[in-house]
């Protein structure tokens, strides 16, 4: 794609109550946070706006999921049948086969698929969006923003000392690296590898990845919350990854205040798409790009779009066992949505000149 071309991407907008009369199916996951019910609560006054629902039910949960509440909401908005889909968060490798053998056939009957990513893991978000994208249906990607997020700034300050000690041990928290055929690429095997990684509150995610490969370069993308009261999180996630930024200083320029210039909104996925596009235009013809899906959920949506635009981008997700900061979000602030008519239509809008 011409680097001077401005990408034409769907807007991220406030979700609104839907109208009846369209054949729709809902795909989501049971969550334990209040916001996991956000989109269905918004639709309840409208009545029957969906026909069916498929809900991923985690085999290893972090809290008491709102299973009954979500099923009741889905029934209220028209789901005549709600099918639970087992998902083991530690060994989810069979989820791609499940899509191919069962879910794709069932979901292909509907004109529109609502994909509620609010309670989904990032690996599940990517596999779901990529697999559903091949159907050529309208994808309504919805995400409910919380009022408050964990950790608080006080929790973060208390955890910094522990994180600085554990950062010396790259293998601590070793879990597994999640891979899927639909997220992989064999292009340029044997060529120099550039790893593009998103910061988070767990530095071990990236260290785990670096322990399995020797990248030519590591490009870090920080996340910037859009709300001023959470701006400290951008500074915190960079501080957590300070040693990695220093080790790969030539790949990670900082501004006059010492903050990474590679930063994208943690909510507006379009910034992530454009940042990866810039990286691809710079090195994608000469080096293999491997991305770790370690950012926010909406940054992960951006990664899905980037993968749709460039099939040779390779995506993996490292999952260590240990997490230094625990907690949950609270409240419901806004429900957002991105309407993707189809990835093929998205590609046609962004073809090379």
CATH of the domain at 65: 3.40.50.10770
More confident residue, 99 or 191: 99
Boundaries of domain holding 194? 153-319
Both 200 and 226 in one domain: the answer is: yes
Both 97 and 164 in one domain: the answer is: no
Q: Which pLDDT score, from 0 to 100, does residue 305 have? A: 95
Would you give the end-to-end CA distance of the chain in angstroms? 8
Q: Which residues contact 323 (CB under 8 A, 6 or more apart)?
A: 173, 202
**Could you tell me if residue 160 is inside a domain?**
yes
- The answer to whether residue 350 scores a pLDDT higher than 60 is yes
The CATH number for 286's domain is 3.40.50
Q: What confidence tens digit (pLDDT) does each residue in 177-192 have?
A: 889 999 998 776 778 8
Q: Which residues contact 134 (CB under 8 A, 6 or more apart)?
A: 104, 343
**Could you tell me if residue 48 is inside a domain?**
yes
Q: Which residues contact 353 (CB under 8 A, 6 or more apart)?
A: 2, 5
Both 115 and 203 in one domain: the answer is: no
Quick one: pLDDT band at residue 326, thresholds 50, 70, 90? low
Q: What residues pair up with 115 in beta bridges, in sequence order?
A: 27, 141
Q: What confidence tens digit (pLDDT) does each residue in 260-297 have?
A: 999 999 999 999 999 999 999 999 888 999 999 999 99
Both 144 and 158 in one domain: the answer is: no
**Could you tell me if residue 352 is inside a domain?**
no
| Contact present, 207 and 169 (Cβ < 8 Å) | no
Q: Which pLDDT score, from 0 to 100, does residue 321 have? A: 57
The residue-averaged pLDDT of 201-210 equals 85
- The answer to whether residue 248 scores a pLDDT higher than 80 is yes
Both 277 and 174 in one domain: the answer is: yes
Quick one: pLDDT band at residue 167, thresholds 50, 70, 90? very low
Q: Which pLDDT score, from 0 to 100, does residue 277 have? A: 95
Both 144 and 211 in one domain: the answer is: no
**Could you tell me if residue 324 is inside a domain?**
no
Percent of the chain with pLDDT over 70: 88
Both 166 and 207 in one domain: the answer is: yes
Both 41 and 63 in one domain: the answer is: yes
Both 197 and 290 in one domain: the answer is: yes
**Could you tell me if residue 133 is inside a domain?**
yes
- The answer to whether residue 140 scores a pLDDT higher than 90 is yes
Neighbours of 81 (CB within 10 A): 10
**Could you tell me if residue 1 is inside a domain?**
no
Both 273 and 305 in one domain: the answer is: yes
Q: What residues pair up with 143 in beta bridges, in sequence order?
A: 336
**Could you tell me if residue 92 is inside a domain?**
yes
Mean pLDDT over each residue of the chain, to the nearest integer = 88
Both 229 and 276 in one domain: the answer is: yes
CA pair distance 27, 16, nearest whole angstrom: 18
Q: Which pLDDT score, from 0 to 100, does residue 349 have? A: 65
**Could you tell me if residue 73 is inside a domain?**
yes
Both 176 and 288 in one domain: the answer is: yes
Enter the tokens of residue 23.
């054949």
Neighbours of 281 (CB within 10 A): 15
Q: Which pLDDT score, from 0 to 100, does residue 245 have? A: 94
The number of domains in the chain is: 2
């Amino acid at each position: 794609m011409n680097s001077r071309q401005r990408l034409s991407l769907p807007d991220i907008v406030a979700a609104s109550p839907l109208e009846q009369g369209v054949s729709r199916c809902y795909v989501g996951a049971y969550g334990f946070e209040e916001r996991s019910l956000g989109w269905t609560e918004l639709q309840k006054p409208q009545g029957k706006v969906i026909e069916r629902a498929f809900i991923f039910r985690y085999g290893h949960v972090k809290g008491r999921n709102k299973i009954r509440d979500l099923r009741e909401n889905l029934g209220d908005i028209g789901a005549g049948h709600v099918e639970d889909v087992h998902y083991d968060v530690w060994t989810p490798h069979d989820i791609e086969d499940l899509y191919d053998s069962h879910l794709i056939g069932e979901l292909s009957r509907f004109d529109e698929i609502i994909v509620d990513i609010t309670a989904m893991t990032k690996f599940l978000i990517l596999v779901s969006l990529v697999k559903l994208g091949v159907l050529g249906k309208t994808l309504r990607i919805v995400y409910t923003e919380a009022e408050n997020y964990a950790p608080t700034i006080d929790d973060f300050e208390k955890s910094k000392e522990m994180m600085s000690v554990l950062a010396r041990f790259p293998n601590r928290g070793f879990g597994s690296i999640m891979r899927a055929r639909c997220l992989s690429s064999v292009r340029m095997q044997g060529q120099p590898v550039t790893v593009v990684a998103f910061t988070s509150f767990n530095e071990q995610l990236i260290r785990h990845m670096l322990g399995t490969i020797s990248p030519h370069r590591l490009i870090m993308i920080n996340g910037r919350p859009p709300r001023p009261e959470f701006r400290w999180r951008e500074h915190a996630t960079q501080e957590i990854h300070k040693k990695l930024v220093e080790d790969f200083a030539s790949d990670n320029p900082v501004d006059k205040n010492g903050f990474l210039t590679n930063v994208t909104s943690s909510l507006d996925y379009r910034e992530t798409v454009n940042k990866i596009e810039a990286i691809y235009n710079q090195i994608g013809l000469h080096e293999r790009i491997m991305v770790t899906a370690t950012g926010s959920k909406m940054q992960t949506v951006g990664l899905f779009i980037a993968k749709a635009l460039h099939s040779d981008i390779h995506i993996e997700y490292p999952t260590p066992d240990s997490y230094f900061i625990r907690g949950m979000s609270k409240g419901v602030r806004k429900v957002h949505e991105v309407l993707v008519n189809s990835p093929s239509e998205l590609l046609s809008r962004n073809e090379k000149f």
